Amino acid sequence: MFWGAIREICSNGMVFGEVLAKYYARHTSGIVVDNLIEQVEATYEQIPVIKNRIEVLQNLDPTEALTEQITKQLGRGVADYVEEQEVPENQWKLYNYITWYISHVVQQKMRAQYQMKVSRLFEL
């Protein structure tokens, strides 16, 4: 399991791959509830870190280097979609454009891969 976040119903796609925890347990051997509880608690403790990172992104202008990385790592389709939108006033808005695109346009089997790339690009 990867602990992430859902921005809102239907517009989901937000993934915090670097700040939140992940948990692995083989379903054939049973899941130790204490380990799961520990992971949920560790995730909860990261909420201030997430909030801080979002605030940082809200105060950063999108850069040409970031735009180039989006095209390089996510492809021309994502870049074209972003260019069609209102110019994002900050990186958080840009992040939301991209996660909307992933949630609504990218084939479901490819979404997790795209979401993790976006997470790394925006250091979330």
Query: Nearest Cα to 46, choosing from 21, 23, 22?
Result: 21
Total number of domains constituting the chain: 1
Q: Is 10 a domain residue?
A: no
CA 34 vs CA 3, 38, 40, 83: distances in Å: 16, 6, 10, 47
Q: Is 13 a domain residue?
A: no
Q: Is 70 a domain residue?
A: yes
Q: Is 4 a domain residue?
A: no
Q: Is 108 a domain residue?
A: yes
Q: Which pLDDT band, with edges at 50, 70 and 90, does 22 fall under?
A: low
Q: To the nearest 10°, the Cα dihedral for 117, 112, 95, 2?
A: -100
Q: Is 42 a domain residue?
A: yes
Q: Is 68 a domain residue?
A: yes
- Containing domain of residue 88, as a range? 33-121
Q: Which pLDDT band, with edges at 50, 70 and 90, does 26 fall under?
A: low
Q: Is 15 a domain residue?
A: no
Q: Which pLDDT band, with edges at 50, 70 and 90, does 40 fall under?
A: confident
